[in-house]
């Protein structure tokens, strides 16, 4: 194994690197992809928008994994989970995911990550503490000789007309351009949180979706963006677990009651809809008063970030009422993303692979949220497969990635189709997009008429972005994020209109209930002109 080498680099000139595999994104799936490719002897570059170790939705959090040990019960565990997926998941993908995730979790322990022990002395590997896990992964990646480019957001993919040949972007701390020629690229860019202020969302702007769509890849499940999680009002702490022991109240202090007159408690179950309705009507408050003292201690020590906002606000959440909100999570805890065309996480575009939340997670969790656990195991497994797939592709690839033959694929936010307009501001466009895809009354509870109206507004915003949005230097990062968020919102609305039923987190008031005719995937493709397609649940291309 050798590290990638620099072709040319001085402080003022653009940075050019060559690699076998380029990984875009430094969350868990990107780190696992880089490690898998390096293990095969590939020269790997990992470029992250932020910092490998703190970027992504995992690093600021504490996440369970979907951890199913090998053995006879594993088929049953998968079957039970599949029953909750709205019929859209694929048990073969689920089985190979739990197997690969388990293998890699054991690797983590062997490498020296310190898991806690259960009372019987068994190691408990079904939980990963985000800051520690991602710091550990950074060390492991550096130890493997992988070149890490922090604060190097990618702006666009490069192609020679037949295959993806790398990517380019900007080093935002030095304000210089970079490009990496690579025989294969892994998109590990995360989901799209539509600029909601949740943990990790700063980098999760759907950049990979736009890059993939520009290269001709399909997206799948983009209608499944109706996942919201409780958080203390105006905070970033979208962690649902403590609300398992909460009761809920209106502003006047009266208990929130459900349709049967029962007090609403346990906010992470079926009662979430009652809380969403109440939040549309007015402020809602919570108190974690169902937590016994022992549990209070475990919560404080096990989920310390959940208590940081309370401690700083001077609130005891076990005794005091605190105001709450439901935070939109887009495709981060939703399930939509880039469609997987092959078992090694290929996108169908030669040389382009996808991992983690950048990929559709319908194979794993269908129409319902995978929460932290399934998504965490998926990041591990898909990261590993995509890294192997990319390194295999690089090895087989006889061609050399000559820079002169590659052209950049980026359009919206980089190269406006019409005249650049100085009066277009990314922040204003993003607020206008958010007004259509964030409010509970539009996106948690959906109906066809509202979706149509939102869709028309998004078309107009897209026209502004595509025709007129332009930026130079580091400002291109923001204009490109704006384009990615606007494009992701359009795909989400187009898919939500196409799914003329309710299923999982896609709740259509005008079409309540499942329609068996819709027990299939909704695909979208195209950037300016959007095409809708469908797919039966994939029955091909799986090889464990």
Stretch that binds other proteins, among 14-22, 85-93, 193-201, 205-213 (CB under 8 A): 193-201
- Residue 235, token pair as written in the block: 């905070």
Q: How far apart are CA 186 and CA 382, in angstroms?
A: 11
In this structure, the strands spanning 219-220 and 284-287 are unpaired
Cα-based distances in Å from 150 to 3, 31, 163, 197, 381: 16, 13, 26, 22, 23
Q: Specify the residue, 126 or 405, whose C-beta has the smaller distance to other proteins.
A: 126
Backbone φ and ψ of 436, nearest 5°: -95, -30
Residues 462-481 contacting other proteins, CB under 8 A: none
Distance in Å from the first CA to the final CA of the chain: 26
Q: How far is the CB of 418 from other proteins (least distance, A)?
A: 29
Binding mask 173-192 for other proteins (x = CB under 8 A): x-------------------
d(C-alpha 189, C-alpha 211), whole Å: 10
116 near other proteins (CB under 8 A): yes
Q: Contact between 445 and other proteins (CB under 8 A)? A: no
Smallest distance, other proteins to C-beta of residue 467, A: 27
Number of Cα atoms under 13 Å in the Cβ half of residue 338: 35
85 binds other proteins, rule: CB under 8 A: no
State yes or no: residue 205 binds other proteins (CB under 8 A): no
Spatial CB neighbours of 400, under 8 Å, sequence gap ≥ 6: none
The helices-and-strands tally (H runs, E runs) of the chain is 13, 19
Stretch binding other proteins (CB under 8 A), from 175-183, 197-205, 392-400, 495-503: 197-205
Which residue in the block uniquely carries the two structure tokens 């005891």? 316
The answer to the question of residue 425 lying near other proteins (CB under 8 A) is no
Q: Least separation, in Å, of the C-beta of 307 and other proteins? A: 7
Which range in 310-318, 391-399, 445-453, 507-515 contacts other proteins by CB under 8 A?
Answer: 310-318
Of 190, 206, 208, 309, the residue at the interface with other proteins (CB under 8 A) is 309
DSSP state of 147: E
**Is residue 235 close enough to count as binding other proteins by CB under 8 A?**
yes
* Interaction between residue 371 and other proteins (CB under 8 A): no
Residue (151 or 468) nearer to other proteins, CB: 151
Cβ closer to other proteins: 62 or 335?
Answer: 62
* CA-wise closest residue to 44 among 108, 140, 128, 129: 140
Bridge partners, 44 (sequence order): 21
Residue corresponding to tokens 């204003």:
428
Residues in the interface with other proteins (CB under 8 A) total 60
- Residue 198 or 211: the one with the smaller Cβ distance to other proteins is 198
Is residue 251 involved in binding other proteins (CB under 8 A)?
no
Least spacing, CB of residue 438 vs other proteins, in Å: 13
Nearest Cα neighbor of 101 from 429, 443, 376, 412 is: 376
CB of 45 to other proteins, least distance (A): 18
CB 522 within 8 A of CB 461: no
Q: Does 87 bind other proteins (CB under 8 A)?
A: no
Q: Are 32 and 104 in contact (CB under 8 A)?
A: yes
Closer CB to other proteins, residue 43 or residue 138? 138
In the bound complex, what is the minimum distance in angstroms from residue 504's beta carbon to other proteins?
21
Nearest approach, Cβ of 330 to other proteins (angstroms)? 14
Exactly one of 91, 107, 115, 414 binds other proteins (CB under 8 A); that residue is 115
Q: Judged by CB, which is closer to other proteins: 203, or 330?
A: 203
Q: Please report whether residue 150 would count as binding other proteins according to CB under 8 A.
A: yes
48-77: contacts with other proteins (CB under 8 A)? 49-51, 53-56, 59-60, 62, 64
**Whole-angstrom Cα distance, residue 445 to residue 238?**
19
Q: Is the dihedral of CA 275, 276, 281, 282 positive or negative?
A: positive
Q: How far is the CB of 391 from other proteins (least distance, A)?
A: 27
CA dist., res. 299 & res. 321, Å (int): 17
Of 44, 340, 334, 342, the closest CA to residue 204 belongs to 334
Distance CA 448, CA 455 (A): 10
Residues at the site binding other proteins, with contacts judged by CB under 8 A? 49-51, 53-56, 59-60, 62, 64, 113-118, 124, 126-127, 129, 131-133, 135-136, 150-151, 172-173, 197-203, 232, 234-236, 241, 244, 295, 297-305, 307-313
């Amino acid at each position: 194994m050798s590290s990638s080498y620099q072709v040319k680099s001085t402080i003022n000139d653009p940075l050019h690197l060559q690699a076998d595999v380029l990984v875009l994104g430094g969350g868990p799936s990107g780190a696992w992809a880089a490690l898998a490719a390096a293990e095969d002897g590939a020269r790997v570059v990992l470029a992250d928008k932020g910092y490998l170790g703190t970027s992504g939705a995992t690093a600021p959090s504490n996440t369970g994994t979907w951890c199913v040990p090998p053995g006879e019960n594993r088929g049953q565990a998968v079957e039970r989970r599949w029953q909750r997926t709205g019929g859209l998941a694929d048990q073969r993908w689920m089985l190979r995911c739990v197997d690969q995730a388990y293998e890699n979790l054991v690797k983590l322990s062997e490498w020296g990550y310190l898991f806690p022990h259960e009372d019987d002395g068994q190691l408990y590997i079904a939980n990963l503490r985000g800051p520690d896990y991602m710091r550990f992964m950074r060390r492991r990646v550096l130890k493997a000789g992988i070149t890490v480019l922090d604060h190097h957001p990618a702006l666009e993919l490069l192609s020679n007309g037949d295959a993806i040949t790398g990517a380019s972007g900007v080093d935002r701390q030095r304000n210089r351009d970079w490009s990496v020629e690579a025989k294969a690229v892994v998109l590990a860019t995360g989901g799209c949180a539509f600029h909601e202020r949740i943990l990790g969302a700063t980098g999760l702007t759907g950049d990979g979706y736009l890059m993939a769509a520009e290269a001709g890849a399909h997206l799948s499940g983009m209608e499944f963006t109706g996942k919201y999680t409780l958080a203390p009002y105006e905070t970033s702490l979208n962690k649902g677990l403590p609300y398992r022991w909460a009761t809920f109240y209106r502003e006047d202090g009266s208990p929130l009651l459900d349709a049967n007159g029962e007090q609403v408690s346990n906010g992470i179950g079926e009662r979430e809809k009652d809380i969403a309705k109440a939040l549309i009507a007015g402020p809602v408050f919570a108190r974690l008063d169902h937590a016994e003292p022992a549990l209070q201690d475990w919560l404080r020590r096990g989920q310390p970030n959940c208590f940081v906002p309370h401690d700083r606000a001077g609130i005891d959440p076990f005794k005091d009422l605190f105001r709450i909100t439901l935070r939109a999570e887009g495709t981060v805890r939703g399930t939509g993303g880039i469609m997987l065309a092959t078992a090694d996480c290929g996108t169908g575009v030669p040389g382009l692979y996808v991992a983690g939340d950048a990929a559709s997670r319908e194979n794993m969790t269908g129409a319902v949220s995978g929460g932290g656990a399934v998504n965490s195991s998926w990041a591990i497994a898909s990261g590993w497969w995509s890294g192997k797939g990319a390194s295999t592709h690089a090895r087989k690839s006889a061609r050399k990635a000559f820079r002169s033959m590659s052209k950049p694929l980026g359009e919206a936010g980089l190269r406006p189709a019409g005249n650049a307009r100085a009066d277009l501001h990314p922040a204003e466009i993003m607020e206008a997009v958010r007004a259509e895809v964030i409010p509970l009354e539009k996106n948690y509870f959906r109906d066809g008429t509202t979706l149509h109206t939102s869709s028309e507004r998004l078309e107009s915003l897209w026209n502004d972005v595509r025709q007129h949005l332009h930026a130079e230097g580091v400002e291109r990062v923001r204009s490109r994020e704006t384009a990615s968020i606007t494009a992701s919102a359009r795909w989400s609305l187009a898919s939500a209109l196409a799914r003329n039923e309710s299923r999982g987190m896609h709740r259509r008031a005008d079409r309540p209930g499942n329609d068996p005719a819709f027990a299939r995937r909704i695909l979208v493709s195209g950037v300016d002109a959007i095409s809708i397609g469908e797919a039966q649940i994939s029955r091909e291309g799986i090889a464990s």
